[in-house]
Amino acid sequence: MTVVVTGATGHLGRLIVESLLARGVAAERIVAGGRRLDKLDDLSERGVRVARVDYSDEASLAAAFAAADTLVLVSGSEVGSRIGQHQAAVDAARAAGIRRIVYTSAPHADSTTLVLAPEHIATENLIRESGLAFTFLRNGWYSENYLGALYQAATTGEIVASVGDARVASASRADFAEAAAAVVIGDGHDGAVYELTGDHAWDFAELAEAASEVLGTPVVYRSVTPEEHEAELIAAGLPTGTAGFIVALDGNIRDGLLAHTPGDLARLIGRPTTPLAEALGAARVPAVA
């Protein structure tokens, strides 16, 4: 088995490579793909094959995917451009003779109103239409998404959001990476669609408690209306479009779109998912200590 992991210069892709190694996949059977090979030097030194992956460069995709049988397509980070990028990867995978694509999608991509979902369901559909075997990992929220809130709380003593009393079933990126590795090396996952979330759906009062624990200083949750939230974000210097996007995501959370806890993630990784405070504590940078 040879597996290509795209986005290996990013947080999730790198962790998937590490998880494959930890689960016994030989380094020479892993291709870590990214735009900047210098960021993959340490993996190369450990025997992992590295390859330049640029969705706009068909030759780079052909070279990276050659002789592989599994592609872990970590969804691109460029919101608004991902469908075309993913189409290029799927086309190259089919041309290279790859048998299966493992794709990191979004929660309930085929039925949700989550603002991030449209590009993901479009990608799921084009993978289905390719005729290749597939496994869809519908990754829920990463606990690390709240590192920014943690850093702000270190200064202000509060976490501000317009989610009301809604809940989020987050897990660490490492949890999601382990699930991807388990699917790559395991049997019986062809055609499977997994809804991956943390075991516990926490509310923002609990997020403030976790921040207090990590920072060692009291943090409170301040609930605001969407209008108040957007105004505060703009006053803090965020562009109007970015502020609106953040408020829209909070609206999705307020609607309960990230609170589902089906247990698929814990079953795939064979252990409970990482608690919120533990995930935030492991991910924070020393400057916040």
pLDDT in tens, 211-238: 999 999 999 999 999 999 999 999 999 9
H-run or E-run covering 70: strand 70-73
Give the single-character DSSP code of 142: B
Average pLDDT of the residues in 183-193: 97
* pLDDT-based confidence at residue 285 (cuts at 50, 70, 90): low
CA-based diameter of the chain, in Å?
56
Give me the amino acid identity at 209. E
Asked whether 107 and 260 are in contact (CB, 8 A), the reply is: yes
Residue 246: CB partners within 8 Å, gap ≥ 6? 229, 233, 238
The topology (CATH level 3) of 3-139 is Rossmann fold (3.40.50)
Output the CA–CA distances (angstroms, integers) from residue 153 to 160, 177, 210, in the order listed. 9, 28, 11
Asked if pLDDT for residue 287 goes beyond 50, the answer is no
Asked whether 203 and 167 are in contact (CB, 8 A), the reply is: yes
Residue 126: the pLDDT is 97
For the chain, what is the radius of gyration of the CA atoms?
A: 19
- Domains of the chain by residue range: 3-139, 144-171+199-259+274-289
Asked whether 252 and 107 are in contact (CB, 8 A), the reply is: no
pTM: 0.95
Asked if pLDDT for residue 1 goes beyond 50, the answer is yes
The topology (CATH level 3) of 144-171+199-259+274-289 is UDP-galactose 4-epimerase; domain 1 (3.90.25)
Residue 76: the pLDDT is 85
- Which of 12-26, 242-256, 274-288 has the weakest average pLDDT? 274-288
Same fold flag, 3-139 and 144-171+199-259+274-289? no
Reported as a single tens digit per residue, the pLDDT across 132-150 is: 999 999 999 999 999 999 9
